[in-house]
Amino acid sequence: MKTRVKRFLVGAVVAVALMSPTSSAFAHGFETSELEIIHPFLRATPPGAKTGAGYVIIRNSGSEPDRLLGIEMEAAARVEFHQSVVEEGIAKMRPIEGGIEIPAGGEYRLGADGSHAMLVELTGGIGLGFLVEATLIFEKAGRVPITFEVEPAGATLESADAEHTDGH
């Protein structure tokens, strides 16, 4: 299934963002007919890191749920969905099986409650200010090309969200 993707950038053009270390200062997102993919970002990684983490808010204006099945990117050998949990005082990461449901008329916040996209076997460093191309794969919407921005290592969905809101 082919999906038409509309890209929107507010307050800056891509060419500027590529060169600017402060690219997170403006809002960005992507749309299909039913889905809105809001401010996808990765955390910058320290030198030599083998894994990274990604976050995004996905809204579904459709009347049926959709499901995020996977993420592909050249920056990592594979991307898994994880949930951080604490069991008997020990922090662990558990895989989220079967993809992530985006409820009809609702949203999923990948980054809330310890959830994240885990980038495994990074092919290179993820530097602050980089733009990282990726494809989100949905059960219904199909393949949706997006670009992750790179935020500081401590960035959270909430801090990125606040910046996003400020950007308007």
Site for Cu ion, rule CB under 5 A: 82, 93, 118
Shortest distance, CB of residue 93 to Cu ion, whole angstroms?
A: 4
Shortest distance, CB of residue 76 to Cu ion, whole angstroms?
A: 12
CB-wise, 51 or 165, nearer to Cu ion? 51
CB-wise, 29 or 111, nearer to Cu ion? 111
CB-wise, 93 or 137, nearer to Cu ion? 93
Report yes or no: 5 and 141 within 8 Å, Cβ to Cβ: no
Shortest distance, CB of residue 95 to Cu ion, whole angstroms?
A: 8
Question: Which residue is listed with tokens 């990461």?
Answer: 93
CB-wise, 59 or 82, nearer to Cu ion? 82
The distance between the two most distant Cα atoms of the chain, rounded to a whole number of Å, is 48
Q: Which amino acid is at 55?
A: Y
Length of the chain in terms of residues written: 168
Shortest distance, CB of residue 109 to Cu ion, whole angstroms?
A: 16
41 Cβ contact partners less than 8 Å away, ≥ 6 residues apart: 24, 54, 55, 56, 148, 149, 150, 151, 155, 160
